[in-house]
Amino acid sequence: MNLSENITEHGKIDKIMKNHSWEESELISILHEIENLYDYLPAWALRHISEKLNIPLIQVYGVASFYNAFHLTQHGKYIIRVCEGTACHVKGGHRVMEEFERKLNIEAGETTKDLDFTLERVNCLGCCALGPMVMVDDKYYGQMSPAKLGSLIKQLKKTRIDHK
């Protein structure tokens, strides 16, 4: 980030903090707004918050890393969550995860280089009878199998292209 971008981006963060009266008690709300603005919490933004609100950086990172709603790294356009809870695991959820990792060439917790997909492992999606379950953003896909997964990825890539 060059100097003029840095000033502009810091100004955006300052405006968010000003809307929250520069209050430490508003930290979670401030982080939510920054997450909405950038789709993740950039490290420079967390440092800036720490300095401006006079909060130790470790405290800001602690809050940011505690809640699943926050991302400390950029995530993909699609967030794919593969359930590996007991019911889904028994029904082959672990094989589904392995196939996603193979097809996307990433491991759970990573994002593809083109920022299309982020792959996450979750303990339960609450749909045990339909396992193995996969959730893409807010849409559920039940009885997923390694064989079905290729067409799901193609569908998502096509949707991405159609909406550019």
Q: Tens digits of per-residue pLDDT, 21-70? A: 888 888 999 999 999 998 899 999 999 999 999 999 999 999 999 987 78
Whole-angstrom Cα distance, residue 160 to residue 109?
Answer: 21
Say whether both 22 and 86 belong to one domain: no
In a domain, 46, yes or no: yes
Helix (H) or strand (E) holding 81: strand 78-83
3-state secondary structure of 78: strand
Q: How many domains does the chain have?
A: 2
Taking alpha carbons only, the member of 55, 32, 41 closest to residue 9 is 41
Say whether both 59 and 85 belong to one domain: no
Whole-angstrom Cα distance, residue 27 to residue 162?
Answer: 37
**pLDDT number for residue 42:** 94
**Given 66, 89, 119, which residue is the final one in a domain?**
66
- Domain range for residue 38? 3-66
Quote the tokens at residue 136. Answer: 């893409």
Instruction: Break the chain down into helix, strand, coil percent, rounded to 5.
Output: 55, 10, 35
Say whether both 36 and 84 belong to one domain: no
Say whether both 9 and 62 belong to one domain: yes
Say whether both 110 and 147 belong to one domain: yes
State the pLDDT confidence band at 163, using cuts at 50, 70 and 90. very low
In a domain, 72, yes or no: no
Taking CA 110 as the corner, what is the angle to CA 140 and CA 93, rounded to the nearest 5 degrees?
A: 40
The predicted model gives 133-154 an average pLDDT of 94
Say whether both 157 and 82 belong to one domain: yes
